Amino acid sequence: MSELGWAVWAALALLLLYLLRVNQLLSQTPDEIRKLSGPRWTRAQLEATYKRLQDSPLDYTDKIPPKLDRRYVVTGGSAVSMPGLVGGYIVLQLLARGTPPECIRIVDIRRSERSDIGAGTAAAAVDFAQADIRSASAVTAAFARPWPAAAARLPLTVFHTAAVIEASERSPRRYAFPAAVNIDGTRHVLAAARAAGADVFSATSSGSIGLRPVGAFAAPWARAPRGFWQVLDVADFQAPLRPRDGYFANYAASKAVAERLVCGASGEAFRAGCIRPANGVYGNPTDNTVGDPLSRAILPTWTPHIVQSFVHGANVAIAHLHHEAVLARPWAESARQAGRPFVVTDPNPPIAYADVYAAIRTLSAHAFRTVEVPPVAILLLAHGLELYDELALAAGGGVLPALAGDLRHLKPPIMSICTHLVAAGDEARRPPAEGGLGYAGVLTTLEGVALEVLEWNREHAHASASAGARKKYTTSVVLAEQIQRLPVTAPQAAAPSRGETDG
């Protein structure tokens, strides 16, 4: 063999050794994270929690902040995914604490698939105004619709939860869409809220804003990839906005700008701020975090060892109600909390994705198993798919087939959002007198995941337990694709649709 041949083989051997080292680093759980995480869930623990929730439905009404005599607009309170997840729970909690349906309006692009806010529920009587928040005129029209006489003169709170979530995109070519919804949409909702006379504005932000991109291709001698474990806090809020590529994905970059818009609009007459849910958000079979695995018979995964602070949609919603309660106080008592974000998480240590998989495997009526894939294989594939996507975009439509299905979302940012993330929620838990919100989660992650599987099983109780019988939900990923294909809609001239919505 020639010297060149030996050199090539030596280089390939070194590359293989390097990739094996990267895979080893990406497959570990650092000691710092292991100490923060609780013990893994056992089968007995899962079955006992499931049976308790099945026999005694959880009622946390007494833990919801007391009713305020106000009217409400909830953007994103109907559609599926995280916006509809959080917004839907806000609507349910408002009703549970005694707010009449005629004092609540949902503004969203589509009606809900959620069974707990559908036909036959108390939420079915809530007014629904269809609007694409990318359209300023559509948002203005939705806010300007007449209110019933009993609600018209009440002060107005706006809960802005509408957004699109694309956690796998970082290309500048794909920034326009999340910017149009998350930034321009927030700007439109802020303007409409002011015009409608709102004095309290609470927006759902994202804990991923604080996340720095992970340097997965670590030096061979490194103890861990750069940013392999991070604390999700609000330290970044005290610094200037980073450039777009300083965030892990376009989603986080657009949400960071939107968060600054909301907090920057706050003042004595218009008190505004944000709730940052930790990663990942779950709470209904329509979500990505638990619902997507539930919908699959076989789940390829590289994340069983990944530890994160989860947060149930009901906990995010109750954080918004605590946020509102503080902001609705006189300025002297709410100035410290206004104009800033708060991180919230479930009231327990972070868990591992292995816990979620164990819960589905143990509790679901459907067969479920995982197939572990080496992280380095996902990393290499993700970079290859991203390069292909960039070439397809540069070449123009129709030249190269567009990525479709799961492959479209398998790009390098996934390696950042699927890393060890621990949320710092101490500030939100402090009493209002100490600058906090007095937030306390009403569901642990164990209870929340078991409850979601219980709901899944109930919705499939009359169907075969075969893989083909699984109900298909519209997740946030699918919804974002659908919205992106839609033209920006003009305001509807139809009369109020109170009682017609199933969301």
Q: Which of 23-37, 325-339, 387-401 has the lowest mean pLDDT?
A: 387-401
Backbone angles phi, psi at 312, to 5 degrees: -75, 145
SS3 of residue 342 by DSSP: strand
Q: Cα separations (Å) of 6 from 10, 16, 17, 139, 294?
A: 6, 15, 16, 66, 50
Residue 245 lies in a domain: yes
**Average of pLDDT values for 249-276?**
98
Q: What is the pLDDT of residue 6?
A: 83
pLDDT tens, residue by residue, 98-132? 999 999 999 998 766 666 665 557 677 889 999 99
| pLDDT higher than threshold 60 for residue 499 | no
Q: What is the pLDDT of residue 491?
A: 52
* pLDDT on residue 480: 59
**Distance between CA atoms of residues 48 and 383, nearest Å:** 43
Burial class (CB in 10 A: 0-12, 13-18, 19+), 405: exposed
Has residue 329 been placed in a domain? yes
In the numeric block, the tokens 């699959």 are attached to 296
How much is the pLDDT for 427? 97
- 214 backbone dihedrals φ, ψ, rounded to 5°: -80, 135
pLDDT score of 399: 84
The model's pLDDT over 69-82, given as tens digits with 9 standing for 90+, comes to: 999 999 985 443 34
The pLDDT assigned to 97 comes to 95
Q: How many domains does the chain have?
A: 1
Please tell me the least confidently modeled range out of 20-34, 127-141, 469-483. 469-483
- Quote the pLDDT of residue 111: 65
Please determine, for residue 210, whether its predicted confidence score (pLDDT) is greater than 60.
yes
Q: Is 232 helix (H, G, I), strand (E, B) or coil?
A: strand
pTM above 0.85, yes or no: yes
Task: Report residue 497's pLDDT band, with 50, 70 and 90 as the boundaries.
Answer: very low
Nearest to 64 by CA among 330, 327, 314: 314
Q: Give me the pLDDT at residue 81, please.
A: 39
Residue 140: pLDDT band by 50, 70, 90 thresholds? very high
Higher confidence at residue 181 or residue 500? 181
Task: Kindly give the interhelix angle for 375-395 and 3-26, rounded to the nearest 10 degrees.
Answer: 110
- Return the CATH number at 461: 3.40.50.720
Q: Which pLDDT value is given to residue 405?
A: 84
The fraction of the chain above a pLDDT of 90, given in percent, is 77
Examine residue 177 and state whether it is found in any structural domain, yes or no. yes
- The answer to whether residue 500 is domain-embedded is no
Per cent of the chain over pLDDT 70 is 88
Q: Which residue has the higher pLDDT, 79 or 201?
A: 201
Residue 12 lies in a domain: no
Helix 476-485 to helix 81-96 angle, to the nearest 10 degrees?
110
pLDDT band at 501 (very low <50, low <70, confident <90, very high): very low
Over 70: is that where the pLDDT of 24 sits?
yes
Residues spanned by the domain of 205: 31-373+401-485
Q: Kind of pairing, strands 71-75 and 104-108?
A: parallel
Nearest by Cα to 344 from 413, 266, 468, 441: 441
Q: Out of 25-34, 197-206, 395-404, 472-481, which region has the weakest mean confidence (pLDDT)?
A: 472-481
Residue 49 reports pLDDT greater than 90: yes
Residue 499 phi, psi dihedral angles, 5° rounding: 90, -10
Does 350 reside within a domain? Answer: yes
Q: What is the pLDDT of residues 428-473, one digit of tens each?
A: 999 999 999 999 999 999 999 999 999 999 988 866 544 457 776 6
Residue with tokens 């199933």: 502
Amino acid 5: pLDDT: 78
User: What mean pLDDT do residues 353-358 have?
Assistant: 98
Q: Is 67 part of a structural domain of the chain?
A: yes
Domain assignment present for residue 5? The answer is no
Q: How far apart are CA 71 and CA 103, in angstroms?
A: 5
Mean pLDDT of the chain: 90
Mean pLDDT for the stretch of residues 365-392 = 96
Average pLDDT over residues 122-148: 92
